[in-house]
Amino acid sequence: MNSPSNPSGLTQLGAHAPAPASPDKAVLERVANPHPGTLYLARFTAPEFTSLCPVTGQPDFAHLVIDYAPGAWIVESKSLKLYLTAFRNHGAFHEDCTVSIGKRLVDTLAPTWLRIAGYWYPRGGMPIDVFWQTAKAPDGLWVPDTGVASYRGRG
């Protein structure tokens, strides 16, 4: 609900918001893009993302990089942090976590373009990197490298 102190109707920003029990219960909020019609890229990185293996229950760790070109909406960052935190007790394979996050952002924001890169740390001796994007990046959009080096182990 909009109020003078919260004109965007956000429910989590500026308020106590406990970690959601699961990604499905997380509230991902959006606000109007302050530069509609301008092609630009916004990047979020989550270098300490965690989830659980759906078979063993063991923790999995990833470095996520989310790039998107906003349309009419931008994601409210606290709600994104809480949404990502909800995966800590959620069992899913690396591919499912990475692609599900990208699709949820697309459903919420309807961006001009989005890509997500999930650089998963090794378990069982093999890192898994997962990449998903909505389409080819729009002409004229500067899309920098994700900046995450390939896993090289100890040498």
Q: What is the DSSP string of 85-141?
A: HGGGG-B--HHHHHHHHHHHHHHHH--SEEEEEEEEEEETTEEEEEEEESSSPPTT-
pLDDT at 154: 57
Catalytic residue among 24, 60, 96, 145: 60
**d(Cα 87, Cα 112) in Å, to the nearest integer?**
26
pLDDT score of 1 more than 60: no
* Structural domain includes residue 146: no
- Domain tally, the chain: 1
User: pLDDT (tens digit, 9 = 90+) per residue, 63-98?
Assistant: 999 999 999 999 999 999 999 999 999 999 999 999
* Structural domain includes residue 84: yes
* Structural domain includes residue 141: no
4: confidence class by pLDDT, cuts 50, 70, 90: very low
Would you state the structure tokens that stand for residue 41, as one six-digit string?
């890229």
* Structural domain includes residue 24: no
Structural element, H or E, at residue 68: strand 59-69
Q: Provide the domain limits for residue 55.
A: 47-133
155: confidence class by pLDDT, cuts 50, 70, 90: low
Q: Which CATH number fits the domain that encloses residue 107?
A: 3.30.1130.10
User: pLDDT (tens digit, 9 = 90+) per residue, 96-137?
Assistant: 999 999 999 999 999 999 999 999 999 888 899 999 999 999
Mean predicted confidence (pLDDT) in 2-20: 74
**d(Cα 137, Cα 155) in Å, to the nearest integer?**
34
* Structural domain includes residue 25: no
- The residue with tokens 């093999």 is 126
**d(Cα 36, Cα 148) in Å, to the nearest integer?**
30
**d(Cα 108, Cα 111) in Å, to the nearest integer?**
9
Residue 131 burial class via C-beta count within 10 angstroms: exposed 0-12, middle 13-18, buried 19 and up: middle
* Structural domain includes residue 4: no
Q: Which of 119, 113, 106 is nearest to 149 (CA)?
A: 119
Catalytic residue among 53, 97, 107, 129: 53
Catalytic residue status for 60: yes
